[in-house]
């Protein structure tokens, strides 16, 4: 088949396999739900897990990072030389790392969901929604035109609204979903407006083309483009829960089922920062003077707001553990924004630091959620004080949670957490953003205060006598244990050999 | 002294850094059969003594194998790439500056482990205690052994969590607040220090301390150097601690268990001053020159402030806590160390390094002794101890009283004991600071320092007067146990080294002087 003779675009199926497979499994699970008897619904969960694992495996053949498809010019996808200009779907290193993060994160969230779907959540719908959202999130980093980007963003978000509200008969869950939905839809609408402005001024949707044509925008359109750039960022800033779009986070997380909160805290963040990186660094590099300072200020505000709110959490309040993790995830989003803002000031590769940080954060934050989920089985209040003396009852879980929290704080023995912070600091210093580095430094200290308070609680001798033997027989479900073990192992391996993730901080990802 | 092959030396140094970590992990596991001992608690405490003892032996072997004819050369070096992305290398080595600190750390930790074996800390299970003690040792030893800025930061941070838990779980009254204050204060300092280190690393193009020192600041503009020294200096000054960043120290010392206080004063504070000598002096000499007068001024104020605070605490009726008093005296003593460094002369830096070691020995001993007094009386409150006439330790527990008096006079800088040389050299250097520094200002600092030694003598003698002497005791008072065998074993090395360093300072100065000369003149090889 000669390319120029055909009107049908040839598609490189292997390249798009990871998100496609996830989406197909999602549909398959939805259909299968109709035929699987109620007693066997667990089967759907295992199918979904297998699908996610297979999607992860499909990343392996792509690891060279030189594939692209859906291109404007057929010649662009010939093997051998990396020409990804004008392609809508690119599987470069950036895409692959983020897909690894998203699919891996979804896999751990799915492990956490297995016991929950057995008890409270409707299995078929749940798995379908989770996988659809994961498919969208996996598509997003590969998108190289604004239309695909927005579609991917929506595919990732829409199922998430339903996931948050899925707990039947729970008023709080419904309220959380509504809050999440309304603020998200507003943000998306604003993004679309921005996209249309940019399209109007440049006449193209492809990110690289936009970057090329932004330089030659005629004078009268300058304001239009600047507005467009700013508005486009809003939608992604919402996803990553940057100030002032962060108010939905604590209510949504604490209202949602715990595995969904874990999923949102990692995959939702990944969606946000991926989109931000793509539009800022790839599409609008010539407007760095607009988005650079804006992102830097946003980063400072976000981390401060998140940390201060997390510090003020009352540990005895109901759901305080989830709320603290929610606020801490807002603070961590601030750290994630720092290298993106720094990218505006420096010619060096900076966004890799965001990717490296996100990989570390994904592993340890999911781990922390997993331990909280484990404790929530015996203490449904999800209070921080419920964790007091955890070391006495289940030492392994307590040590794991301590390790995760210290990683989030960035202190040894959480070596990978420390080094991820060091790379972020280093990108700020390199870009000459000394004030931002200092703000972040203060924030790290505030963060330590509440992470350490929680860690210290784990080892406190429990005040009341050990529970009756009948209650301690509550065995930990295997999938949750597996999730904790998996994330702890990732954290431990990375602590010994940080090069695994930190290499993304220095190499060119695109 | 002894000819040990380079590869063995390399192994010894790597062992010194890595073994405490392995030992800490092993302490958390159940004891293997055959090593169970009388009880799990006893077994794990014995494990602590074994591991720290092995590390002390390794450190002594390292010192024996160290080429004393060439102490300015980095010896036993290992240099392996660890994180290529950040250009972080596992670069270890010792020279005349770090060797004494390594041995001091290994010795003090061993003595602490020995002390805890016979007198287990009051609090939860000793298992975690031993593990934390070993992690703490790993962090301090690594701080003195690494030659990479990022690794230095990592080691610097490594001691925070163990020390926090040592204070928060095995400490006395007000321990949670004190532990929190300690860790937040120090972390704030070290984050600022990280920014300075990154600035140096990014602008200098490498994180390797040896390469940066050899560069001697030629690759860095003066403004970068000033910013870097300011940032690094704040972090180190919090740790040292320098007045006015010292306020975490008295609380931490008062609340910490005896062993925690000994290590905090004896070893952890040295990490700050060591950083000044190892990083700030050679890597950013211009920055140091600009900021040295301020450092010296703060140091001089610290000396006077520390002694005045101690005098106030030693007054009858002040409800002064002995541990708090010694903590404040540390602020004064570390002021001398900083003053020595701030003169930027070989004499001053040598004096600072000497005072560093002397303070580690003497204050370590003092905290052991006060801990013993507190155990016997149940309080370290000076007024309660002394009562109306004095605690009369000479009469009731003569050996303990004599040791306390000995440590006090060593601390006030009696010639012939360790405390004398360092402070004398620091004052001497302040009389004639490096070229380019304002001599009149340093003369004022010297006078302030001299005043500080007088005040130090005053409060320490008051303490001796109130604790060791006293009138006849009322009848029916319970007997006080004198120094026990294990206490003697833990304290004798410190006493002997205090006398040795006082009578034969050349042992230390011979090691540090060539290295210091080279650092000041333009980097290490």
Break chain A into its structural domains and give their ranges.
12-283, 287-510
State how far the Cα of B495 lies from the Cα of A126, in Å rounded to an integer.
Answer: 71
* pLDDT for the residue A6: 58
Calculated CA dihedral for residues A400, A404, A409, A410, nearest 10 degrees: 100
- As a whole number of angstroms, the distance between CA A220 and CA B478 comes to 95
State both tokens at A39: 């007693």
DSSP secondary structure of A115-139: HHHHHTS-HHHHHHHHHHHHHHHHH
Please list every residue in chain A whose beta carbon sits closer than 8 Å to the beta carbon of residue B137: none
Cβ-Cβ contacts under 8 Å, B160 against chain A: 411-412
State how far residue A74 is from chain B, nearest Cα, in angstroms: 36
Q: How close B322 comes to chain A (CA, Å)? A: 28
- Interface contact flag, B194 A441, Cβ < 8 Å: yes
What is the model's pTM?
A: 0.90
- Residue B525's pLDDT is 44
- Across A71-75, A330-334, B437-441, least confident range: A71-75
Long-range pairs for A492-495 at CB < 8 Å and ≥24 separation?
A492/A403, A494/A360, A494/A363, A494/A416, A495/A413, A495/A414, A495/A415, A495/A416
Tokens of A257: 């089922």
Of B128, B180, B202, the CB nearest to A426: B202
Q: What's the N-to-C CA distance of chain A in angstroms?
A: 30
Which residues of chain B have a CB within 8 Å of the CB of A357?
none
Radius of gyration of chain A (CA): 22
Instruction: Measure the CA–CA gap between B84 and B89, rounded to whole angstroms.
Output: 8
User: Which residues of chain B make contact with A415, given a CB cutoff of 8 A?
Assistant: 154
Give contacts of B135 with chain A, Cβ < 8 Å: 413
Q: Which helix (H) or strand (E) holds B76?
A: strand B75-83
Residue B485 neighbours by CB under 8 Å, 6+ apart = none
Token pair 């595919």 in the structure block, residue: A155
User: If residue A82 lies in a helix (H) or strand (E), which one and from where to where?
Assistant: none
Cis peptide before A413 (omega within 30 of 0): yes
Residues 6+ apart with CB under 8 A from A322: A253, A254, A258, A261, A372, A382
Say how many C-beta atoms besides its own lie within 10 A of residue A467's C-beta. Answer: 13
Chain B contact for A423 (CB, 8 A cutoff)? yes
- Closest C-alpha among B298, B515, B301, B340 to residue B429: B340
Residues of A within 8 A of B157 (CB-CB) are 411-412, 418
Measured CA to CA, the distance from residue A418 to residue A399 in angstroms comes to 18
pLDDT at A69 over 90: no
| Per-residue pLDDT tens over the stretch A3-17 | 454 566 778 888 889
Q: Is A493 on the interface with B (CB under 8 A)?
A: no
Q: Where are the alpha helices (DSSP H) in A285-394?
A: 288-311, 320-343, 351-376, 390-393
Q: Do B195 and A415 touch (CB under 8 A)?
A: no
- Among candidates B178, B186, B134, B138, which has minimal Cα distance to B160? B186
Average pLDDT over residues A335-352: 86
**Of A354 and A255, which is predicted with more confidence?**
A354
Cβ neighbours of residue B495 closer than 8 Å, sequence gap 6 or more:
B365, B403, B406
Give the pLDDT score at B475.
67
List, in sequence order, every residue forming a beta bridge with A69; answer none if it has no partner.
Answer: A89
Q: Which residue of A has its CA nearest to B165?
A: A456
- pLDDT at res. B476: 67
pLDDT for the residue numbered A3? 45
Interfacial A residues in 342-381 facing B (CB < 8 Å): 356
In the structure encoding, which two tokens stand for residue A5, read together? Answer: 């003779």
Q: Is A147 on the interface with B (CB under 8 A)?
A: no
- The CA distance from B225 to B289, in Å, is 10
A456 touches chain B (CB under 8 A): yes
Distance of CA A278 to the CA centre of its chain: 15
Chain A residues within 8 A of B124 when measuring between CB atoms: 459, 461
Is a pLDDT exceeding 70 seen at residue A483? yes
Q: Is the per-residue pLDDT at A468 higher than 50?
A: no
Is B98 in contact with B274 (CB distance < 8 Å)? yes
Cβ of residue A50 closer than 8 Å to a chain B Cβ? no
B322: helix, coil or strand?
helix
CB contact under 8 A, A419 and B128: no
Is pLDDT at A510 greater than 90 in this prediction? no
- What pLDDT score does A462 carry? 64
Which residues of chain B make contact with A426, given a CB cutoff of 8 A?
86, 198, 201-202
Q: Which residue of chain A comes nearest to B89, CA vs CA?
A: A499
A463 vs chain B: nearest CA distance in angstroms? 13
Ramachandran angles phi, psi of B109, nearest 5°:
-65, -40
Evaluate whether B115 touches B263 at the Cβ level (below 8 Å).
no
CA dihedral A443, A446, A451, A453 (to 10 degrees): 180
Contacts with A507 from chain B: Cβ below 8 Å: 85
Which candidate from A406, A412, A425 shows the least CB-CB separation from B195?
A425
The residues, any chain, with a CB within 8 Å of residue B520's CB and separated by 6 or more, are B281, B282, B344, B345, B346, B349
Cβ atoms A62, A15 nearer than 8 A: yes
Q: Among A73-87, A330-344, A421-435, which stretch is predicted with the lowest mean pLDDT? A: A73-87
Nearest to B195 among A406, A441, A505 (CB): A441
Q: Find all residues with CB under 8 Å of A469, minimum gap 6, and list them.
A: none
Residues of A in contact with B192 (CB under 8 A): 438, 441
Q: Which residue of A has its CA nearest to B185?
A: A445
Assigned token pair, B470: 């006293």
- List chain B domain ranges: 6-522
> Residue A184, CB half-sphere, CA atoms under 13 Å: how many?
25
Residues of B in contact with A452 (CB under 8 A): 164, 180, 183
Given a cut of 80, whether residue A168 has pLDDT beyond it is no
Cβ(B184)–Cβ(A448) under 8 Å?
A: yes
> Cβ–Cβ of B85/A423 closer than 8 Å?
yes
The whole-chain average pLDDT of chain A stands at: 85
Q: Taking residues A392-418, what's their average pLDDT? A: 89
Q: Which of A430, A459, A505 sits opposite B202 (nearest CB)?
A: A430
* Shortest distance, CA B147 to any CA of chain A (angstroms): 17
Q: What are the phi and psi torsion angles at B313 (to 5°)?
A: -70, -30
List of chain B residues whose C-beta atoms are within 8 Å of the C-beta of residue A449: 180, 184
CB contact under 8 A, B165 and A448: no
- Could you give phi then psi for residue B82, rounded to 5 degrees? -115, -60
A–B CB contacts, 8 A cutoff, strictly below: 95
Q: Is B166 exposed, middle or buried (0-12, 13-18, 19+ CB in 10 A)?
A: buried
Chain B nearest-CA distance from A504, in A, is 8
Low-confidence ranges of chain B (pLDDT < 50): 524-525
Question: If we measure between CA atoms, which residue out of A358, A459, A371 comes closest to residue A416?
Answer: A358
Q: Are B27 and B49 spatial neighbours (Cβ–Cβ below 8 Å)? A: no
Kindly provide the b/e burial profile for residues B171-194, where b requires at least 16 CB atoms within 10 angstroms of the residue's own CB. Answer: bbeebeebbbbbbbbbbbbbbbbb
Instruction: Show residues of chain A in contact with B191, CB under 8 Å.
Output: 441-442, 444-445
Instruction: Nearest chain A residue to B202 by CA: give it.
Output: A430
Between CA A87 and CA A93, with CA A90 as vertex, the angle to 5 degrees is 145
Interchain CB distance below 8 Å, A422 and B153: yes
- Count of Cβ atoms closer than 10 Å to residue A470 Cβ: 7
SS3 per-residue string spanning A201-267: HHCCCEHHHHHHHHCCCCHHHHHHHHHHHHHHHHHHHHHCCCCCCCCHHHHHHHHCCHHHHHHHHHH
For residue A65, what pLDDT band results from cuts at 50, 70 and 90? confident
Say whether residue A135 is in contact with chain B using an 8 A CB cutoff. no
Q: Do B83 and A502 touch (CB under 8 A)?
A: yes
Question: Residue B114 is inside which H or E element, if any?
Answer: helix B98-118
Asked if A419's CB is within 8 angstroms of B83's CB, the reply is: yes
Identify residues of B whose CB sits under 8 angstroms from chain A CBs.
82-86, 88, 124, 128, 135, 139, 150, 153-154, 157-158, 160-161, 164-165, 168-169, 176, 180, 183-184, 187-188, 191-192, 194-195, 198-199, 201-202, 227
Q: Which element (helix H / strand E) includes A39? A: none
Element (H, E) at B95: none
Distance (Å) of CA A380 to CA A250, A373, A376, A401, A450: 18, 9, 5, 18, 22
Q: Closest-CA residue in chain B for A499?
A: B83
Query: Which pLDDT tens digit goes with each residue over A180-231?
Result: 888 888 888 898 999 999 898 888 888 888 888 887 877 788 888 888 888 8
CA distance linking residue A322 with residue A319, whole number of Å: 6
Nearest to B86 among A419, A438, A442 (CB): A419
Record: contact A506-B157, CB cut-off 8 A = no
């Amino acid at each position: 088949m000669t390319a120029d003779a055909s009107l049908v675009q040839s598609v490189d199926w292997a390249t798009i396999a990871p998100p496609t497979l996830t989406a197909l499994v999602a549909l398959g699970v939805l259909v299968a739900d109709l035929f699987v008897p109620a007693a066997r619904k667990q089967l759907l969960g295992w199918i979904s897990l297998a699908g996610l694992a297979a999607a992860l495996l499909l990343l392996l053949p792509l690891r060279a990072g030189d594939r692209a498809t859906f291109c404007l010019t057929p010649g662009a996808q010939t093997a051998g030389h990396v020409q990804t200009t004008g392609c809508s779907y690119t599987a470069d290193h950036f895409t692959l790392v983020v897909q690894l993060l998203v699919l891996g994160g979804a896999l751990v969230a799915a492990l956490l969901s297995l016991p929950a779907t057995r008890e409270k959540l409707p299995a078929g719908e749940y798995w379908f929604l989770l996988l659809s959202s994961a498919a969208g999130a996996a598509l997003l980093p590969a998108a190289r035109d604004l239309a695909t980007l927005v579609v991917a963003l929506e595919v990732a978000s829409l199922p998430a609204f339903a996931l948050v509200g899925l707990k039947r008969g729970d008023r709080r869950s419904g309220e959380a979903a509504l809050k999440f939905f309304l603020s998200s839809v507003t943000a998306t609408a604003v993004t679309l407006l921005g996209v249309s402005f940019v399209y109007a001024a440049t006449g193209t949707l492809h990110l690289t083309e936009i970057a090329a044509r932004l330089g030659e925008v005629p004078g009268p359109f300058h304001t239009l483009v600047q507005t467009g750039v700013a508005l486009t960022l809003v939608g992604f800033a919402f996803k990553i829960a940057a100030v002032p779009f962060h108010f939905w986070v604590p209510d949504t997380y604490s209202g949602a089922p715990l595995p969904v909160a874990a999923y949102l805290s990692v995959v939702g963040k990944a969606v946000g920062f991926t989109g931000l990186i793509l539009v800022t660094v790839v599409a609008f590099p010539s407007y760095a003077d607009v988005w650079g300072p804006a992102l830097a200020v946003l980063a400072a505000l976000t981390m401060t707001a998140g940390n201060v709110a997390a510090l003020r959490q009352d540990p005895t309040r109901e759901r305080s553990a989830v709320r603290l993790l929610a606020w801490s995830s807002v603070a961590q989003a601030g750290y994630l924004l720092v290298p993106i803002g720094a990218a505006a000031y420096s010619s060096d590769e900076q966004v890799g630091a965001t990717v490296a940080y996100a990989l570390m954060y994904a592993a340890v934050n999911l781990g922390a959620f997993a331990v909280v989920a484990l404790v929530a089985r015996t203490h449904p209040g999800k209070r921080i004080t419920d964790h007091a003396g955890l070391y006495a009852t289940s030492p392994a879980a307590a040590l794991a949670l301590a390790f995760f929290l210290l990683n989030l704080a960035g202190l040894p023995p959480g070596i990978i957490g420390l080094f991820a912070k060091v790379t972020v600091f280093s990108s700020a210093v390199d870009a000459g953003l000394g004030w931002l580095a200092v703000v972040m430094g203060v924030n790290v200290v505030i963060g330590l205060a509440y992470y350490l308070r929680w860690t210290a609680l784990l080892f406190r001798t429990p005040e009341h006598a050990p529970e009756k033997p009948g209650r301690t027989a509550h065995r930990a479900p295997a999938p949750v244990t597996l999730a904790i073990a998996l994330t702890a192992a990732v954290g431990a391996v990375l602590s010994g050999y940080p090069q695994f993730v930190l290499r993304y901080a220095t190499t060119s990802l695109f | 002294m002894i000819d040990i092959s380079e590869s063995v030396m390399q192994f010894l140094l790597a062992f010194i850094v890595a073994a405490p970590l392995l030992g800490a992990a092993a302490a958390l596991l159940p004891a293997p059969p055959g090593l169970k001992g009388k009880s799990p608690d006893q077994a794990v405490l014995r494990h602590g003594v074994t591991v720290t003892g092995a590390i002390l032996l390794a450190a002594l072997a390292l010192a024996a194998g160290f080429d004393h004819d060439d102490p300015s050369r980095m010896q036993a070096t290992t240099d392996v790439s660890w994180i290529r992305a950040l250009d972080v290398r596992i670069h270890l080595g010792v020279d005349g500056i770090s060797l004494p600190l390594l041995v001091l750390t290994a010795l003090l930790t061993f003595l602490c482990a020995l002390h805890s074996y016979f007198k287990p800390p009051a609090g939860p299970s000793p298992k975690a205690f031993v593990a934390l003690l070993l992690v703490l040792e790993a962090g301090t030893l690594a701080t003195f052994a690494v030659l990479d800025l990022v690794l230095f930061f990592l080691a610097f941070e490594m001691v925070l969590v163990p020390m926090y838990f040592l204070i928060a779980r095995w400490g006395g009254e007000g321990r949670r607040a004190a532990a929190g204050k300690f860790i937040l204060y120090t972390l704030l300092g070290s984050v600022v220090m990280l920014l300075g280190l990154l600035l140096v690393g990014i602008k200098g193009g490498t994180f390797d301390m040896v390469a940066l020192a050899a560069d001697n600041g030629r690759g860095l503009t003066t403004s970068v150097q000033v910013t870097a020294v300011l940032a690094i200096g704040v972090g180190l000054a919090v740790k040292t601690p320098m007045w006015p960043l010292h306020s975490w120290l008295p609380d931490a010392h008062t609340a910490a268990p005896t062993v925690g206080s000994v290590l905090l004063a004896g070893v952890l504070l040295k990490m700050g001053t060591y950083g000044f000598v190892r990083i700030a002096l050679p890597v950013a000499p211009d920055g140091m020159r600009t900021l040295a007068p301020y450092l010296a001024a703060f140091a001089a104020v610290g000396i006077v402030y520390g002694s005045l605070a101690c005098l106030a605490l030693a007054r009858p009726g002040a409800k002064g806590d002995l541990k708090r008093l010694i903590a404040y005296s540390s602020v004064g003593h570390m002021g001398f160390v900083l003053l020595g460094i701030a003169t930027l002369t070989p004499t001053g830096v040598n004096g600072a390094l000497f005072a560093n070691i002397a303070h580690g020995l003497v204050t370590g001993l003092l905290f052991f002794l006060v801990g013993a007094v507190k155990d016997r009386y149940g309080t370290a409150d000076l007024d309660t101890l002394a009562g109306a006439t004095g605690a009369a330790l000479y009469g009731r527990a003569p050996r303990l009283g004599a040791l306390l008096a000995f440590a006090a006079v060593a601390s006030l800088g009696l010639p012939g004991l360790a405390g004398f040389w360092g402070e004398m050299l620091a004052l001497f250097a302040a009389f004639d600071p490096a070229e380019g520094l304002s001599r009149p200002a340093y003369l004022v600092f010297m006078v302030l320092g001299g005043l500080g030694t007088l005040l130090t003598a005053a409060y320490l003698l008051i303490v001796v007067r109130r604790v060791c002497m006293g009138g006849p005791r009322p009848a029916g008072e319970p007997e006080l146990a004198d120094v026990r065998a294990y206490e003697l074993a833990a304290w004798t090395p410190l006493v002997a080294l205090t006398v040795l360093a006082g009578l034969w300072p050349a042992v230390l100065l011979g090691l540090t002087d060539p290295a210091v000369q080279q650092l000041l003149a333009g980097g290490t090889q």
